[in-house]
Structure 1
Amino acid sequence: MRLKKFIAVLAIVGMAAGLAVGCGKSDAGDGNDKKAEASEWDASRDITIVSREDGSGTRGAFTELFGIEDEIDGEKVDMTTQEAQITNSTSVMMTTVAGDDYAIGYVSLGSLNDSVKAMKIDGAEATAENIKSGTYKVSRPFNIATKEGADNAVAEDFINFILSEEGQKVVADNGYISLDEAKPYEGSAPEGKAVVGGSSSVSPVMEKLIEAYKAVNDKAEIELQTTDSTTGMTSAIDGSYDIGMASRELKDTETSEGLVPQVIATDGIAVIVNKNNTTDELSSDQVKSIYTGETLTWDEVVK
């Protein structure tokens, strides 16, 4: 009798243990399912809108090209939603979008890397070839500017190099659209220093141009300061920079202060999203709707 009771107790304990293990596996499975579900991109989530700071030439060109502006009292006003997160450089923009599954932003095409995904706009991929053919229309000039009457031999020679065949090859090799009919560089190799500063979008290609110029004139020192387009222009006006950089057209107020612009390249603006985003294409109107705050969630554009 005692033996039968003992066997019965063992059977009950075994069943209880089996149930416990079974429950544990079920819970673990539920947890894994929840994790898998959480990792899936959810179009019903809010869009994280990321924009550049005031003074950014990329922001100015972006809002103009996509019509994210309105005319109030005769002046164009940026209508970017107040809900947008503001970043102060190209690199921070890409880091921000790469770290948020639901973010959207924009960067210079030449600065684009594989940490984010560039969207097709109106059916066209953001490539240098499509910009050149006119298929991808979201593009703007890269300008440099000097103050009229400025006298810096190194700055003048460096500009001659930028516009030469050798300089324009650097432009093309770094993913930008080069100028046509550039001639071979014929420099005088002056000695001295020049300060170049402004747009963070122009800075990457300018850094490469400086490296290439030093290879042909090691007697010159070129200092590069990365700020923004507006600072680039105001600093060229007041003499802080010998050469200012702007990733947009110059304003009338800037040229009236004596700045002389020179286009050194054409660049596209890539609309970027997180690589987990399942969306591959947006229309210009959809981009505008997102940045003006009319479209709030991804499922409003993902059909």
Structure 2
Amino acid sequence: MIRLKNVLAVTLGAALMVGSLAGCGNNSSKSADGGFDATQDISVVSREEGSGTRGAFVELTGVEEKDADGNKVDNTTTNAITCNSTEVVLTTVAGDDYAIGYISLGALNDTVKALKIGGVEASEENINNGSYTLSRPFNIVTKDGISDVAQDFINYIMSEDGQKIISANKYIEVANSGAFTSTNPKGKIVVAGSSSVTPVMEKLIEAYKAINTNADIELQESDSTTGITSTSDGTCDIGMASRELKDTETALGLKATVIAMDGIAVIVNNNNPAEDYTVDQVKDIFTGSAAKWEDVK
């Protein structure tokens, strides 16, 4: 009897564990033959409002449209799962067979699959030649009165040395200013903003501090709008933005400098058989016009 109770307890415990895992939001339903079930709802994964990646994505795909009064309206479906960083988008899509999201191309890894857009692969080469349409700039944002150490760091980013780090991290170089020589100024720099720009900025900071050991640089990850606002109010010295500045922002005396170009990869789970969508199909998914995978036409 004791042995039977033990078996029942183990069986019940295993059942409870399976039930708890199924309740974590991981949609892994399969068709009757064990394959991808196209009748399942699409799990749309989006970035938060204020994200430069979201701003660029909705503009480039037509998810953002102008209303009758000429105001821009983001038509991302209200059913979308909202994530506050690139890393969370990646893990969410990787853990859900029926999810689709978008990330910086430089952050792409093998935990997910990037779709071709209009038959064109998301790659550095195709962004350079203009055939991959979902691309945007990585900007740093500054205003007048920048410190000597902050200017020295910017000079490094835009130099041949800094741009080599850009390309080594799978982003696209912009024209560089040649070899870098530091004046070794002393002081603190606060860099804040876009979570898409943050990974490559970490590498740039690490390399610059090896050259100028007098520099103390603090990096704060958030989103593009926060980085721009923080630069405007003096909370940070250099903002990071993965979108262009708005007219209302440049009117505040802010200046954007492109440090790299990046593509936006539309990603799905590795178990999803989809390989290639048009921009219109992506738009239909993210506006909710196509609610199930079988609706993507």
Q: Report the TM-score, using the length of structure 2 for normalisation.
A: 0.88
| Larger Rg over CA atoms | 1
The separation in 2 between residues aligned to 1:67 and 1:36, in whole angstroms, is 32
**Residue 241 of structure 2 aligns with which residue?**
246
**Residue 52 of structure 2 aligns with which residue?**
57
1:295 to partner: Cα distance:
0.5
1:300 to partner: Cα distance:
2.2
* Aligned residue type for 1:280: E
1:132 aligns with 2:135: no
Distance 1:197-1:39 versus aligned 2 partners, 3 A rule: farther
1:260 to partner: Cα distance:
1.1
User: Is the contact made by 1:141 and 1:263 (CA closer than 8 Å) also made in structure 2?
Assistant: yes
Q: Considering only aligned residues, what root-mean-square deviation do their CA atoms show, in Å?
A: 1.5
Distance 1:40-1:217 versus aligned 2 partners, 3 A rule: same
1:182 to partner: Cα distance:
3.3
The separation in 1 between residues aligned to 2:169 and 2:53, in whole angstroms, is 18
User: Is the contact made by 1:168 and 1:182 (CA closer than 8 Å) also made in structure 2?
Assistant: no
The separation in 1 between residues aligned to 2:246 and 2:73, in whole angstroms, is 14
**Residue 286 of structure 2 aligns with which residue?**
291
**Residue 229 of structure 1 aligns with which residue?**
224
**Residue 101 of structure 1 aligns with which residue?**
97
* Aligned residue type for 1:140: R
* Aligned residue type for 1:91: E
**Residue 27 of structure 1 aligns with which residue?**
none
User: Is the contact made by 2:285 and 2:296 (CA closer than 8 Å) also made in structure 1?
Assistant: no
**Residue 15 of structure 1 aligns with which residue?**
none
1:55 to partner: Cα distance:
0.2
Q: Which runs of 5+ in 2 are unaligned?
A: 1-28
The one-character-per-residue Cα deviations of 1:235-261 (angstroms, maximum 9, x if unpaired) are 000000100000000111111001111
The separation in 2 between residues aligned to 1:186 and 1:232, in whole angstroms, is 28
User: Is the contact made by 2:163 and 2:176 (CA closer than 8 Å) also made in structure 1?
Assistant: no
1:299 to partner: Cα distance:
1.6
1:147 to partner: Cα distance:
1.5
Aligned pairs for 1:3-42 within 5 A: 37=32, 39-42=34-37
The one-character-per-residue Cα deviations of 1:116-151 (angstroms, maximum 9, x if unpaired) are 100000000001111001111110000001112x23
Q: Which runs of 5+ in 1 are unaligned?
A: 1-33
User: Is the contact made by 1:198 and 1:229 (CA closer than 8 Å) also made in structure 2?
Assistant: yes
- Name the structure where helix makes up a greater proportion of residues: 1
* Aligned residue type for 1:279: A
**Residue 212 of structure 2 aligns with which residue?**
217
The separation in 2 between residues aligned to 1:111 and 1:265, in whole angstroms, is 14
* Aligned residue type for 2:134: V
Q: Which runs of 4+ in 1 moved over 2 A?
A: 34-39
The one-character-per-residue Cα deviations of 1:141-162 (angstroms, maximum 9, x if unpaired) are 00001112x2311111000000
* Aligned residue type for 1:133: N
1:88 aligns with 2:84: yes
